[in-house]
Amino acid sequence: MSDSLLSVFKRLILALRAVGRILADPGFAAGVLRLEQGETPAPAEPARPALRETPPDSALQLLALLQQEGRFVDFLQENVTAYSDADIGGAARVVHEGCRKVVHDYLQIKPVCEEAEGVRLTLPAGFDATAVRLTGNVVGQAPFTGTLMHRGWRVIGITLPKVAEGHDVRVLAPAEVEL
C-alpha cells in the first residue's frame, strides 16, 4: 500500500501503537531513533537452517558392508606408496567390484541432472543450490547459463539390513584369529 493512501485515522492508530511499543521495547525505540536520524535499516540476514545431529549408525553400517564386500577400509588404511601402479590397479578392481555390489544392493542412486555432461543448460531463479553447485565466474542473479561438468548423484532409496539389538555398529570388521 502506498504511504500517501493512509488516512489520518490510520496514521493516528499507527502513531499510538508505535508510542506504546517505543515505551515497552528499548530495541524498537533505538531503531525508530536511527530511522529519524536518517540511517537506513540493515538488510535482514537470511535465516540459517537449524543444524541437527545425525546418528552415525547407518553410516557405520554402510561402511561395514563396504568393508565386508569390497575390503574398502583395508584398502584405504593400506599405505600404497610402496606398490606399483599395476598392483594398485589390480587391488582397486577388487575393491571396486565389491563396493559397487554394496551400492547397487542397498542404495538407489540417480543423477541430479539427467542431461549429459558437457551440455549447456540454464538454471532458473530458485534452483536448488543444495543439489547444484555453481563454479567458475559466478556473478549476478539467476537464471544462470553454463556447462554441466558433473551430473551429480542423489540417493532416492536406501534399504540397509536390520541390525540386531545390542549389535555394535562401530566394529566395521571383526578381528580374525586363526586357530
Q: Are residues 85 and 149 in the same domain?
A: yes
Does a structural domain hold residue 150? yes
Q: Are residues 73 and 150 in the same domain?
A: yes
Does a structural domain hold residue 43? no
Does a structural domain hold residue 168? no
Q: Are residues 154 and 104 in the same domain?
A: yes
Q: Are residues 25 and 65 in the same domain?
A: no
Q: Are residues 150 and 68 in the same domain?
A: yes
Q: Are residues 12 and 74 in the same domain?
A: no
User: 89 lies in which domain range?
Assistant: 57-126+142-158
Does a structural domain hold residue 48? no
118-173 pLDDT, tens digit per residue, is 999 999 999 999 999 999 988 888 899 999 999 999 999 999 999 999 999 999 99
pTM of structure: 0.65
In eight-state DSSP terms, residue 49 is: P
Mean of the per-residue pLDDT values of the chain: 90
Does a structural domain hold residue 90? yes
Does a structural domain hold residue 122? yes
| Distance (Å, whole) CA 4 – CA 1 | 9
Does a structural domain hold residue 134? no
20-38 pLDDT, tens digit per residue, is 888 888 888 888 888 888 8
Q: How many domains does the chain have?
A: 2
Question: How many other C-beta atoms are found inside a 10 Å radius of the C-beta of residue 98?
Answer: 19
Does a structural domain hold residue 165? no
Name the pLDDT band for 4 (thresholds 50, 70, 90): low
DSSP line for 2-63: -GGG--HHHHHHHHHHHHHHHHH-HHHHHHHHHHHTTPPPPPPPPPPPPP----SHHHHHHH
